[in-house]
């Protein structure tokens, strides 16, 4: 009897333990399953009306034939798409805002760009021919009607104008030389201060040394800019002296502004080949000076000496602009594209005209708004 009660109690204990274990298993959470699906991304459908290569942002170039559709995924956000024809004469660009994971259609319209360029070239050629014809006719008529007394008076008047311009240019040269010397002195003093600061083994000394070094660099860059300007002014003085010598020896009396700088100083902005423009980057906008001559094309930027350029005409490949626009884009061999914003009183056409006169091989692309 006692043995049966013991077996009965054991059975009850076994049942209670099994029930507890089942309850614990039921309370445990089920293993998590990964239910997240891949997030959709925007897609571009790109088509062109001329054979070209295109890039998205700074990605690799992709060849695309006319009327062929190219499909490619892109990330969310704004993207710059640039296309250029096989002969590299025509360029097109646009910004696509992929703000939603949907399909965007982009049609590269290079035919319009090419038509505008060819029209501009035809107009330029016709204008050049018209100017040549009128000049030849004017020279012929002038040679037949101008008497000796009138010519002598005109020569004397021109010589007086040249002498006055030379005096003014020499004054400007002296000012630029003085400014360059002042910047040199400032740079030298900043270097001395930097050397003193570097001997101080403190954080303040290190910061002062960094500031003095930056000031020395900025002053040295400014001194260089003043010397460049002084050299350009001296070049104009030399040109005027040659013109005066030519008049003394019986040379031709050219009309004011006909390929000469006579009478333009302080009258026609940019006629001296110097333009006060601007250049912007991620960090902000910086003013600078673009100096154009057949020997060099130089850009000296205030506050950003690392952006300064000194280029030969062989490095300038193409200038893209709108006649009434506010920007000029220069394609520079070995540098890439550099944009300059035009500030009054200059125009984009004036800047590109000066570049074309100094560098006849420069390709001009005038955009039609």
Map out the domains of the chain as residue ranges: 43-109, 138-248, 274-366
Sheet holding 62-64, edge to edge: 62-64, 52-56, 77-85, 91-98
Q: How far is CA 22 from CA 11, 31, 38, 327, in A?
A: 17, 17, 38, 78
The continuous run of DSSP H or E covering 20 comes out as helix 2-27
Same fold for the domain at 43-109 and the one at 274-366?
no
With tokens 């004017």, the residue in question is 138
Looking at residue 146, its pLDDT comes to 64
Looking at residue 266, its pLDDT comes to 34
Check whether domain 43-109 has CATH 3.40.50.360, yes or no: no
Q: Splitting the chain (369 residues) into consecutive groups of 10 residues, what average pLDDT does each group show? A: 55 60 54 62 93 93 93 92 93 92 92 93 92 86 70 81 88 87 86 78 74 77 73 79 78 47 38 76 71 87 77 89 75 85 79 88 74
Q: How far is CA 127 from CA 124, 229, 275, in A?
A: 5, 33, 25
> For the domain bounded by 274-366, which CATH number is listed?
2.30.29.30
């Amino acid at each position: 009897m006692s043995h049966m009660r013991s077996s009965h109690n054991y059975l009850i204990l076994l049942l209670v333990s099994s029930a507890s274990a089942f309850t614990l298993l039921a309370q445990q959470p089920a293993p998590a399953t990964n239910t997240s699906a891949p997030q959709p991304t925007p897609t571009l459908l790109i088509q062109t009306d001329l054979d070209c290569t295109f890039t998205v942002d700074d990605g690799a170039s992709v060849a695309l034939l006319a009327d062929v559709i190219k499909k490619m995924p892109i990330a969310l956000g704004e993207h710059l798409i640039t296309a250029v024809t096989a002969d590299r004469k025509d360029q097109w660009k646009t910004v696509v805002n992929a703000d939603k994971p949907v399909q965007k259609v982009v049609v590269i319209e290079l035919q319009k760009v090419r038509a505008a360029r060819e029209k501009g070239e035809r107009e330029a050629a016709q204008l050049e021919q018209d100017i040549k014809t009128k000049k030849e006719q004017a020279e012929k008529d002038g040679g037949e009607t101008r008497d000796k007394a009138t010519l002598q008076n005109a020569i004397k008047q021109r010589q007086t104008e040249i002498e006055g311009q030379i005096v003014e240019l020499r004054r400007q040269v002296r000012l630029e030389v003085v400014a360059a010397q002042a910047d040199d002195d400032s740079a030298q003093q900043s270097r001395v201060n930097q050397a003193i600061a570097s001997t101080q083994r403190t954080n303040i000394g290190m910061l002062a040394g960094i500031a003095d070094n930056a000031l020395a660099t900025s002053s040295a860059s400014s001194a260089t800019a003043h010397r460049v300007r002084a050299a350009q002014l001296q070049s104009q003085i030399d040109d005027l002296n040659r013109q005066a010598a030519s008049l003394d020896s019986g040379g031709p009396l050219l009309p004011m502004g006909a390929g000469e700088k006579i009478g333009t100083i302080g009258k026609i902005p940019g006629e001296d080949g110097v333009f006060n423009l601007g250049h912007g980057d991620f960090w902000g906008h910086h003013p600078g000076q673009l100096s154009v001559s057949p020997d060099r094309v130089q850009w000296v930027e205030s506050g950003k000496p690392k952006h300064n350029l000194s280029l030969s005409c062989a490095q300038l490949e193409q200038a893209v602009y709108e006649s009434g626009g506010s920007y000029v884009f220069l394609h520079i061999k070995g540098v890439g594209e550099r944009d300059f914003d035009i500030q009054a009183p200059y125009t984009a056409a004036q800047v590109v005209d000066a570049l074309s006169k100094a560098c006849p091989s420069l390709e001009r692309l005038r955009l039609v708004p």
